[in-house]
Amino acid sequence: MERIETAPVSLTSTWFIRPGCESAALDALGRLAAQVHEHEPGTLMYRVHTALPDSARLQSLPPLDRLTVVFMETYRDADSFRAHVDGPLFTGFVREHGALFVGTAGQPFTSVSFLALHCGFERDVPAVQAGAQSGNRHACAMFEVIARDQAALLPFYTRVFGWRYERGVEGFAYVHFNERGAAALGGIGQADPAIPGYRPGINFYLQVDDIDATIAAAEAAGGRCTMPPAGIDGYRFALIADPEGNPIGLIKAAQPTARVQ
């Protein structure tokens, strides 16, 4: 049996916002969640929920006060939990914003239930930004490179990205990805043919650990760099072309989304 000290720790915690403090409290909670995500790798899940209004199909039992806040959290182990609850982000939040919640002397009243995972699963759920009601849907699920000479092009992607293939109908070479945890990202921009990467059309981007090394590998395998690395909005990206001239975007995200394994 896995020792409690080293097993993942999950919990639910319930707080109550003081009447009239809803906007300030929710804004502060949004900033806290973003900071925990950025600075606490041992915090695997940190979700802050507010009460969903009752409807004909969905009713909380017992009825839930509209000022209720429920935290759902998972930590890598007990030490990671202590690092969060005793750390500067959470203690600073309570010190600065504790009075926004029902409590005594700035200390929120809270109920906490510690949980151990017995069974079940977690589907890929998009991260929700502060103030949003839900994540975007319909993320890109597949891309295709339609080659003029498939046999000649497959080794390029194997050399540069380490891909292996599974043959399908009529020899289509499927590329299956086992990685979990990278947030799907999409965007729609304004075309500007004078700027590399902004010509009208569709690009796909592959997440890599080292953009410069990937460019070097692509050039050694017969590809070329069509846009040197640049940075914007917290991402670093570049464009290369395979030996047939098909564009490939390379991107390194500023912060991947943490997930429970």
Could you tell me the domains of the chain? 9-115 (3.30.70.100), 150-252 (3.10.180.10)
- Output the CA–CA distances (angstroms, integers) from residue 87 to 36, 42, 96, in the order listed: 10, 12, 14
Q: Cβ atoms within 10 A of the Cβ of 60, count?
A: 12
pLDDT tens for each residue of 42-84? 898 999 999 888 777 888 888 888 899 999 999 988 999 999 9
Contacts for 112 with CB less than 8 Å, ≥ 6 apart = 11, 12, 13
Omega before 155 within 30 of 0, i.e. cis: no
Say whether pLDDT at 261 is over 50.
no
In which band, very low, low, confident or very high, does the pLDDT at 253 lie, cut at 50, 70 and 90? low
Rounded to two decimals, what is the model's pTM? 0.52
Contact 101, 33 (CB under 8 A): no
Q: What is the pLDDT of residue 71?
A: 96
* Tens digits of residue pLDDT in 163-173: 888 888 778 88
* Cα-trace Rg, the chain: 23
How many CB atoms are closer than 10 A to CB 28? Answer: 18
- Measured CA to CA, the distance from residue 60 to residue 51 in angstroms comes to 9
Contact 227, 215 (CB under 8 A): no
Average pLDDT, the chain: 83
